[in-house]
């Protein structure tokens, strides 16, 4: 659906689009904070674990070295056993604590002495150097040489102490707090510098779309958004200017239309006066000739001719001219005010045949070949009784006068696609000249010799056809001759 006006657009509704910038910013900031918390926690965990492991190694090595020094100063095996027993308290989490003296005696306090010397024991006994080993990040094993010969083994288990478990809560709390502070700060900044300016621009756009041309907004935002707001202000001011110019143009057009309507009314009045003038001239021309003859005949009779035969001839001529004047006036009245008649339904075949039967006995039709074509399946026509007959009779008489001798005249009735009946009168005469073809239905326009026609026949036919709901036209046939056709509504 296309909106009829820009104000019909709902700028707040965006079906099918993504969620708002506010929501997207909040979700993005929250996801970033959670990710940062997890990343920091993992980093601190790894660093803390490594530091704790190194600390345990150093602590175990220091403890083993100190204990080895004490073993070297002990006087006998019993004293060594007592010293080892002091170190075997449960709180130290010792897994192995034993001593191999230089003479091969073994004092085991915790754990089991290996029957086969391992790498650490070999290093302490043979190379007299310390050996530290971390086994699967679960045990710290230290083997140190003892002065006077021998080796001391101390193994501490890392399980149960949680490596960095004592500081894990602090690490997570710090990471979570820093992430939330960063996310909140970023959200406030984005809201102030991006979301609120965009909302202001959207509100301004909606006001302009609603017709508030000229409305501007002062936006304090980043350069890009400021440029956008400035462009929108320029557009608003430009639209206000366009509307003012459009109103001025509309006002000018309304004034021009009023002037055109006044000129049109003047032209219509002038055309009416011209029509009245042409009608008066036509009447004067058609009535003037017979009237002048009547005046001349009356003057002769008034002077007295003294010849009874001549007087009778003058009276007959006078009567003929007066009848001619009467006929002209009757045709003019028929053209101006056709008399309403009784409405009847008739078949097109009957209408055409009646017209042919009427003209067959008339002079001039004996040399003309007349025919009528109408299908019996054509619908009936409704007319005021005698109107179609009058139209067809006028067309047949005009065709006879155009032929002025032998020829062919054919009447036809067909049903058009629009449901109207079309009646045609076609002849084999000379047709219409281009000049007459454009004026053939105007009153007092005739191709006949002076005194043989008034020029009101076809004008009367046009008036009858149009009052009946049809249209009439004149044309020249391609094969020669003229054709006058008119439409007439069919009965329901």
How many other CB atoms sit within 10 Å of the CB of residue 298? Answer: 13
Whether 346 and 208 share a structural domain? no
As a whole number of angstroms, the distance between CA 329 and CA 335 comes to: 10
Rounded to the nearest 5°, which phi and psi values hold at 280? -65, -40
Report the CATH number that the domain containing residue 409 is assigned in CATH.
Answer: 3.30.565.10
Question: Would residue 163 count as lying in a domain?
Answer: yes
Number of domains in the chain: 2
| Cβ-count burial 311-321 (b if 16+ within 10 Å, e if not) | eeebeeebeeb
Question: Would residue 67 count as lying in a domain?
Answer: yes
As a whole number of angstroms, the distance between CA 57 and CA 466 comes to: 121
Domain boundary among the residues 189, 212, 235 is at 212
Domain boundary among the residues 167, 193, 212 is at 212
Residues 198, 225 contacting (CB under 8 angstroms): yes
As a whole number of angstroms, the distance between CA 170 and CA 52 comes to: 16
Note the pLDDT of residue 275: 62
Give the tens place of pLDDT for each residue, 24-49: 666 777 777 777 777 777 777 777 77
Question: Would residue 413 count as lying in a domain?
Answer: yes
Question: Would residue 287 count as lying in a domain?
Answer: no
Question: Would residue 53 count as lying in a domain?
Answer: yes
User: Quick one: 205 exposed, middle or buried, by C-beta within 10 A (0-12, 13-18, 19+)?
Assistant: middle
Give the tens place of pLDDT for each residue, 102-140: 777 777 777 777 777 888 878 877 777 888 888 777 788
Question: Would residue 445 count as lying in a domain?
Answer: yes
Rounded to the nearest 5°, which phi and psi values hold at 372? -140, 135
Question: Would residue 257 count as lying in a domain?
Answer: no
As a whole number of angstroms, the distance between CA 274 and CA 473 comes to: 24
Whether 9 and 150 share a structural domain? yes
The whole-angstrom distance between residue 485's C-alpha and the CA centroid of its chain comes to: 47
Provide the residue range defining the domain that includes 465. 342-489
pTM: 0.40
As a whole number of angstroms, the distance between CA 433 and CA 225 comes to: 76
Among 336, 458, 472, which Cα is nearest to 396's? 458
Note the pLDDT of residue 333: 65
Provide the token pair at 44. 């601190």
As a whole number of angstroms, the distance between CA 464 and CA 423 comes to: 14
Question: Which of the 8 DSSP states describes residue 372?
Answer: E
The strand pair at 420-427 and 407-415 is best described as: antiparallel
Report the CATH number that the domain containing residue 105 is assigned in CATH.
Answer: 3.30.450
Note the pLDDT of residue 474: 92
Domain boundary among the residues 212, 247, 272 is at 212
448 backbone φψ class: left, alpha, beta (φ>0; ψ -120 to 50): beta
Provide the token pair at 86. 């002091």
Q: How far is CA 429 from CA 368, 379, 456, in A?
A: 11, 31, 21
Question: Would residue 204 count as lying in a domain?
Answer: yes
Q: List the chain residues with pLDDT less than 50.
A: 1-18, 160-164, 450-451
Note the pLDDT of residue 13: 43
């Amino acid at each position: 659906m296309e909106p009829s006006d820009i104000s019909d657009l709902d700028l707040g509704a965006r079906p099918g689009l993504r969620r708002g910038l506010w929501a997207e910013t909040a979700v993005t900031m929250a996801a970033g904070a959670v990710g940062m918390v997890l990343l920091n926690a993992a980093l601190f965990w790894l660093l803390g674990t490594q530091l704790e492991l190194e600390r345990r190694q150093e602590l175990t090595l220091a403890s083993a070295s100190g204990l080895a020094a004490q073993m070297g100063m002990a006087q006998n095996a019993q004293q060594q056993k007592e010293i080892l027993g002091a170190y075997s308290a449960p709180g130290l989490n010792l897994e192995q604590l034993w001593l191999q003296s230089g003479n091969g005696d073994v004092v085991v306090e915790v754990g089991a002495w290996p029957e086969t010397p391992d790498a650490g024991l070999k290093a302490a006994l043979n190379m007299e150097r310390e050996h530290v080993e971390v086994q699967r990040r679960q045990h710290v094993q230290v083997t140190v040489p003892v002065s006077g010969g021998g080796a001391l083994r101390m193994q501490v288990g890392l399980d149960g102490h949680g490596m960095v478990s004592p500081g894990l809560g602090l690490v997570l709390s710090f990471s979570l707090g820093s992430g939330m502070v960063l996310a909140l700060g970023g959200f406030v900044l984005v809201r102030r510098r991006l979301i609120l300016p965009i909302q202001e621009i959207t509100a301004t756009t909606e006001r302009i779309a609603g017709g508030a041309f000229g409305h501007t907004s002062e936006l304090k935002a980043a350069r890009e958004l400021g440029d956008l707001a400035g462009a929108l202000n320029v557009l608003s001011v430009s639209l206000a200017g366009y509307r003012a110019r459009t109103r001025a143009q509309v006002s000018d057009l309304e004034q021009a239309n009023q002037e055109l309507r006044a000129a049109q009314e003047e032209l219509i009045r002038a055309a009416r006066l011209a029509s009245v003038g042409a009608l008066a001239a036509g009447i004067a021309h058609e009535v003037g000739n017979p009237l002048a003859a009547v005046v001349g005949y009356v003057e002769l009779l008034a002077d007295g001719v003294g010849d009874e035969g001549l007087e009778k001839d003058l009276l007959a001529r006078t009567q003929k001219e007066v009848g001619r004047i009467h006929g002209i006036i009757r045709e003019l009245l028929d053209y101006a005010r056709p008399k309403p008649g009784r409405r009847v339904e008739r078949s097109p075949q009957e209408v055409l045949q009646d017209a042919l039967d009427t003209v067959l006995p008339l002079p001039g039709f004996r040399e003309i070949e007349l025919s009528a074509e109408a299908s019996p399946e054509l619908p009936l026509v409704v007319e005021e009784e005698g109107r179609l007959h009058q139209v067809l009779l006028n067309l047949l008489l005009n065709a006879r006068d155009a032929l002025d001798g032998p020829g062919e005249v054919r009447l036809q009735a067909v049903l058009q696609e629009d449901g109207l009946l079309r009646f045609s009168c076609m002849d084999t005469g000379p047709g219409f000249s281009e000049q007459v073809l454009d004026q053939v239905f105007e009153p007092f326009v005739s191709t006949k010799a002076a005194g043989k026609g008034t020029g009101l026949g076809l004008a009367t036919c046009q008036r009858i056809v149009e009052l009946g709901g049809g249209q009439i036209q004149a044309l020249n046939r391609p094969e020669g001759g003229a054709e006058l056709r008119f439409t007439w509504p069919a009965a329901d």
